[in-house]
Amino acid sequence: MGSKWNKSSLMGWQFVLLPSALILLFSFYPMLQSLLLSFQSGKGTVYQYVGLANYGRLFSDPMFKQAVLNTLLYLIVQVPIMLMLGLVIAYFLNMPKLRFKGFYRTAIFLPCVTSLVSYAVLFKSIFAVDGILNKMLMSIHLIQEPVAWLMDPVWAKVVIIAAITWRWTGYNMIFYLSAMQNIDPSVYEAASMDGASKTRQFFSITVPMLKPIILFTAIISTNGTLQLFDEVVNITNGGPGNSTMTISQYIYNLSFVYTPNFGYAATVSYAIVVMVAVLAFLQLKVGGEKQ
């Protein structure tokens, strides 16, 4: 019996050997390399080991602080809005009486299959000084002068938040929708008979039953927001000033726009790794099942 298990296990190992080797080579090896790199500093290929100096620099770097603050702001404001919106939309799309469901689902999901760059360019042109939004607001006399959305530090952030919300709400909605369809309708029937209102049902049945899915979407959204890059680069390029710059853009700048310092860029990358890990841990602690 034992030898048979060994034989099939050997067979299994043969199958996972190649993928494992590839993962080790292309995923774990670079991680280790970049960790080593984060202890070096210099320009381009002129490097030296500096110990923890890069990590020290991180804490006194105003640009890094600015990037972290911007990114966290996106996270704190955008993720809850997006998840709530996704949940509400999914709830309405799940109503049995709703007509043209297929159309609505497709329409709301469509943004997240558009190309990152093209939708960013589209947002940029909508919010331009002589863009369509200003024209609309002026034609209904809500504003007198065109607003320079992308040149105001606050409005620029709002535009970025609107852009990512527009693109990713549909993505989260799909998760919620499929989870909702797994809830037994009889639960709602029973609740209705007991006199629970629709709102009450939503908060007391739907949301609690979706908890694992909400946790999952919260973690992937956090992860995604911390790595935000395309939208900011294409809509505002980090401006005005550096008021919309994200950590990922800062890493890109350190590597490819400034005099390249790949060592310090690796250090900043590891800062993201730590933040993602800590936030995911916190979310699991707060929202996870208590064993």
Partner 1 sequence: MKKWLSMLLLVSMTASLLAACGSSNSNSAEKGGNEAGSGGTKKVVAWAWDPSFNGAALKIAEDLYKKDHPDFQLEVIDMAKADLEQKLNTNLAAGVKDGLPDIILVNDPNIQKYVTAYPGTFADFKEKVDFTQFSPYKVDALRIEDKIYGVPFDIGVTGMFYRVDYLEEAGYKAEDLENITWDEYIEIGKVVKEKTGKYMATINPNDEALTSILLQSAGSWYITPDNKGNFVDNPAMTETLRVYKAIADSGIAKPVTGWSEFVGSFNAGDVATVVSGVWQIASIMDAQDQSGKWRVAPIPRLNVEGGVNASNEGGSSWFVLEESANKDMAIDFLASTMGSSTEFYERFLTENGGVGSFIPAFSSEVYNQKPEFFGGQAIYSDFTRWSTEVPGISLGMYTQEAKDALKNELPNILNGADLTQSLANIQKHFGQQVQ
Note whether 170 and 109 are within 8 A (CB).
yes
Phi, psi for 157 (deg, rounded to 5): -65, -40
Nearer Cβ to partner 1 (45/291) = 45
For 46, list phi and psi in degrees, rounded to 5.
-90, 95
**What angle (nearest 5°) sits at the alpha carbon of residue 30, between those of residues 24 and 34?**
145
The distance of closest approach from Cβ of residue 182 to partner 1 in the complex, given in angstroms and rounded to an integer, is 36
CB of 154 to partner 1, least distance (A): 11
d(Cα 39, Cα 56) in Å, to the nearest integer?
11
Residue pair 159/122 in contact (Cβ under 8 Å)? The answer is: no
d(CA 201, CA 199): 5
H/E segment holding residue 41: strand 40-43
With tokens 């009450």, the residue in question is: 200
Name which of 8 and 186 has its Cβ closer to partner 1. 8
In the complex, least distance from residue 262 CB atom to partner 1, rounded to whole angstroms = 6
Query: Looking at beta carbons only, is 62 or 195 nearer to partner 1?
Result: 62
Is the Cβ of residue 23 or residue 129 nearer to partner 1 in the bound state? Answer: 129
Q: Judged by CB, which is closer to partner 1: 154, or 286?
A: 154
Distance in Å, CB of 230 to partner 1, minimum: 13
Question: Is the Cβ of residue 153 or residue 287 nearer to partner 1 in the bound state?
Answer: 153
Minimum CB distance to partner 1 smaller for 14 or for 182: 14
Residues that bind partner 1 (CB under 8 A): 11, 14-15, 18, 43-46, 57, 60-63, 66, 124, 128-130, 148, 150-151, 153, 236-243, 253, 255-260, 262
Tokens linked to 224: 């995604």
User: In angstroms, what is the minimal distance from the CB of 280 to partner 1?
Assistant: 29
> How far apart, in whole angstroms, are the C-alpha atoms of residue 197 and residue 200?
5
- Least Cβ distance, residue 157 to partner 1 (angstroms): 13
Q: Are 63 and 286 in contact (CB under 8 A)?
A: no
Q: 289 CB contacts (<8 Å, ≥6 apart)?
A: 212
CB of 257 to partner 1, least distance (A): 5
Q: CA–CA distance from 8 to each of 14, 20, 21, 123, 228 (Å)? A: 10, 18, 20, 55, 44
- Are the beta carbons of 46 and 33 closer than 8 angstroms? no
- Closest approach, Cβ 223 to partner 1, in A, equals 24
Closer of 243 and 283 to partner 1 (Cβ): 243
